[in-house]
Amino acid sequence: MNLRADRTAANWRTAGLLLAGAVPLAAFAAFFFYPVVSLIGRGLIGPGGIDLSGFSEVISRPRFSRILWFTLWQAAASAGLSVLVGIPGAYLLYRCRFRGRAVLRALVIVPFVLPTVVVGLAFRSLFASSGPLGSWGLDDSIWAILLAHVFLNYAIVVRTVGSTWAHLDRRPAEAARALGAGPARAFLTITLPALGPSVAAAATLVFLFCATSFGIMIVLGGGQFSSLETEIYRQTTQMLDLRTAAVLSIVQIILVTAVLAVSAAIRRRTETTLRLRASGAAERPLRRADLPAVLITALVCLLLLAPMATLLARSLQTENGWGLGNFAALATVGQGQQFLVSGWQATVNSLTAASTAAVLAVAIAVLLCVVLARKPTKPLARRSIALMDGIFMLPLGVSAATVGFGFLISLDRPPLDFRGSALLVPIAQAMVATPLVVRMILPVLRSVDDRLRQAAGILGASPLRVWISVDLPIMSRSLAGAAAFAFAVALGEFGATSFVARPDNVTLPILIGKLISRPGAGNAGTACAAGVILALLCAAVVFVVDRAVGGKRGGAQIGAF
Amino acid sequence: MALQLTGLTITYDRTVAVDQVSLEVPDGQILALLGPSGCGKSTLLRAIAGLEPLQEGRVSWDGVDLARVPLHRRGFGLMFQDGVLFPHQTVAANIGYGLRVGKRDLTKPEQQQRVSELLYLVGLAGYGNRSVGELSGGEAQRVALARALAPRPRLLLLDEPLAALDKSLRENLLLDLRRILTATRTTTVFVTHDQNEAFGIADRVALMDAGRIRQHGVPRDVWDHPIDEWVARFVGYTTVLDAGLVDRARPDGDRIAFRPSALRLDPSGDIEATVLAASASPDHTALKVLITGWGEMEAVAPADSPVAVGESITLRHDAAGVARLRSASWPAKS
């Protein structure tokens, strides 16, 4: 054995790992922490140095407590409703066998990847006084917001709980039945506790997404509901009160960190070694007793379909009857030359930016996962990895408006001068998508039986070779799903993009936002047409990839976190 | 000496898993590491492979210390209890893996040739293109063995390779394993908790308990001359008595261990006993008897003996099932 060669190899390996960790760290430092810290700093640094007096002043305002309370309770209510209707869905789609199940499983994911602006627009058309459900009087009510949140997050509950449920041993519940428990009692005392961690994981994630929801709040809040996220946006862009925005941003970061800590604790308890056992044995055909679950799920499917159907119908309605007029209007630059680019050009912009963002997000996430998936024995290394894991989840919780506005004020001078760069939009989108990609790939990598790597190593594979021949093939399926998801997230990104997109490279969501903020039935119709196109693009990519790779062994499902 | 372990100590969070173990395995020999679960035998095996950091001691091969040699350069083979085949590769790709990533001294056709040889050797000729998901438990273990043997490892480490299989399969595969290891003259360390496996396959046996090697020798020797009561009980002796009880002429403080076969039903025997229980099996009847002065003992009778519970019988003493222990170390050191 060549001792010197071995020592060199070990050094290379350490260097490689450090490099793999350094690239994402540098990217995050430059394009996330630097802009965010600059913006917050600008709000907190007065003429005489750091000025924290704003904190107590902002926090003691009655408006602040109202906004904080609203943010929390609407997120809790949305999460609760999603879990309530999601559990029957998880049961039907992962525990029962029926025709069309595979298609239904893939379809359920579509709402989750739709851009929030489009979903907001669809619900607005549904509940508007002129819409199909106008008589319900839900327009501008909290119910519109809650239902839109359930619409977006239903898939998280169904898939997260469902993928656990599919592997759950049926026999304990059967033993409980044999001991005299009724079906409901067996479910409540045996099955539900076993599902507990996955239900909690799904609920905290839905809570997080709803607490920081932006597009829905802006479109459906109607100016009367303000959450932390929309208030940061309002203070930054309309009041130009950076101090208040900075305080609110810090409050939101604390809130999100707390929620992430809870969800990380839950995840640690549930992440187990990849189960290769087929789940088919636990499934059975539909029975009469499944009727309540079928009814609830059918109702939810209506909730999922109705807004999109309304949006489609609305896009086909023109001033002179049914037709494709609204889509034809996308070829123009708007009534009275409002915009620099046509709808089609915005579509091309969106696709270009989203592809770049997806490539960036996946590249950063893969490098990051190489480091995060390691299970070192040294306590210091273990703690560093846990810390890094937490840090890279922060973009989930930092207001997109903070990121976007931070980009504007900090990336405009050397060494990071991105003024006028077309790269700014995809970079901002990649920052938003990366944590979600990491969350999809990392569990798959962590669940790889460590002995597979050891077996490869002892057969003579170097650490790099082990990664290429064991980790990469196992990860590849979830990688395809993650890339598609990153693409859809980037395609629909609204909050940060609205700051950094220039008039000549606006994306579809920005165009929609502009169209609906202007009066005129023509504009509303064109917005709906753009929404339909955006929704179709997102849905098509994710549906196809999910059908191709989802559900197969090692293929992480989009939405199952 | 091919493999040499000197004063090996491994601790986890202040628990000593392996305690000052020194062992040697000569070229081409099979050593069985035998012990109850949790005794540290698997940890010791993983340490030899290079998967566990050592607190003290050294692992060396032909006199060269392996401390700075990472596992993928040791040229060893390792086989796990449940195979751990690469799920995304075919049977042939699994077996050929070590040929592709290791020394890489074979051309593609030579690699294919080697894979076919190994498939034939483990009795799975023609299975190359199957997916590993289609294999039964026994087939998966054969593939795992072929995969470990393919790069001609200088040392093969087997971690309970048969424990996950059912009994008849286990016995078949044990015979095959012995044949294959002898045919390929592979130096092997074989970890098991089953003494039949250990004695069935090994040239030498090391008994391990609580991180220490209790006894080390050729199977016959360990079988016939256990050094203490713990070893005696582990290798199948069921009762241990003070020597003075059995042989009044020699009240020397020694103890004597009995296998059930040490006492046989014999109408002309000189030991009187009362039958407490009898259970039939195809080749003999196992008895539990009470012998005045000795206490409860186990004994055997021919398969069709009409023995009734409560009956008084006479037994004959068979020296083959008795061992004299040198030290009275029961209970084992704590």
Does the distance separating the beta carbons of A461 and B101 come in below 8 Å? Answer: yes
Angstrom distance (rounded) from CA A521 to CA B109: 72
Angstrom distance (rounded) from CA A517 to CA A511: 10
Mutate to test the interface with B, among A13, A274, A459 (most CBs of B within 10 A): A459
Burial of A315 per CB tally in 10 Å (0-12, 13-18, 19+): buried
Residue B101: list chain A partners with CB under 8 A.
456, 459-462, 465, 469
Does the distance separating the beta carbons of B88 and A458 come in below 8 Å? Answer: no
Q: What is the pLDDT of residue A82?
A: 95
- Confidence label for A272 from pLDDT (cuts 50, 70 and 90): very low
Residue A474: list chain B partners with CB under 8 A.
87-88
Note whether B136 and B169 are within 8 A (CB).
no
Predicted-complex ipTM score: 0.71
User: Tokens 């080697």 label which residue?
Assistant: B114
Q: What is the pLDDT of residue A340?
A: 67
For chain A, what percent of residues have pLDDT higher than 90? 8
Closest CA in chain B for residue A450: B84
| Closest CB to A454 among B51, B69, B97 | B51
Q: Which of B132, B183, B196, B192 is nearest to B157 (CA)?
A: B192
Does the distance separating the beta carbons of B147 and A458 come in below 8 Å? Answer: no
Q: Which of A468, A472, A438, A461 is nearest to A554 (CA)?
A: A472
Residue A452: list chain B partners with CB under 8 A.
84, 86
> What number of residues does chain A have?
561
pLDDT higher than 70, residue B320: yes
- Confidence label for B9 from pLDDT (cuts 50, 70 and 90): very high
Strands B3-12, B15-25: pairing is antiparallel
- What is the token pair recorded at A104? 């239904």
Q: What is the pLDDT of residue A88?
A: 92
Task: Read off the pLDDT of residues A169-222 as tens digits, 9 standing for 90 and up.
Answer: 776 776 677 676 777 777 877 778 778 878 888 898 899 889 888 888 888 877
Does the distance separating the beta carbons of B53 and A377 come in below 8 Å? Answer: yes
Task: Read off the pLDDT of residues A96-113 as tens digits, 9 standing for 90 and up.
Answer: 888 888 888 878 888 888
Angstrom distance (rounded) from CA A533 to CA B156: 61
* pLDDT (average), residues A370-383: 78
- What is the token pair recorded at A325? 């007029």
Task: Read off the pLDDT of residues B15-39 as tens digits, 9 standing for 90 and up.
Answer: 888 999 999 999 989 999 999 988 8
Q: Which of A405, A414, A501 is nearest to A37 (CA)?
A: A405
| Closest CB to A461 among B72, B84, B150 | B72
Q: Which of A396, A385, A469 is nearest to A439 (CA)?
A: A396
Buried b (16+ CB within 10 A) or exposed e, B282-295: eebbebbbebeebe
pLDDT higher than 90, residue A163: no
Burial of A237 per CB tally in 10 Å (0-12, 13-18, 19+): middle
The amino acid that residue A285 corresponds to is P
> What number of residues does chain B have?
334
Task: Read off the pLDDT of residues A108-149 as tens digits, 9 standing for 90 and up.
Answer: 888 888 888 888 888 888 888 777 777 777 777 888 899 999
- What is the token pair recorded at A500? 């950094």
| Closest CB to A1 among B69, B101, B147 | B69
Kindly list the distances between the CA atom of residue A426 and the CA atoms of A362, A537, B154, in Å, as whole numbers in the listed order: 13, 17, 53
Angstrom distance (rounded) from CA B268 to CA B153: 57
In the beta sheet, which residues pair with residue B191? B33, B159
Note whether B227 and B235 are within 8 A (CB).
no
Task: Read off the pLDDT of residues A43-78 as tens digits, 9 standing for 90 and up.
Answer: 777 777 777 777 788 888 888 888 899 999 999 999
Surface of B (24-83) touching A: CB under 8 A: 49-51, 53, 64, 66, 68-78, 80
Helix-helix angle A343-372:A379-391, to 10 degrees: 170
Angstrom distance (rounded) from CA A313 to CA A99: 29
Residue B148: list chain A partners with CB under 8 A.
459
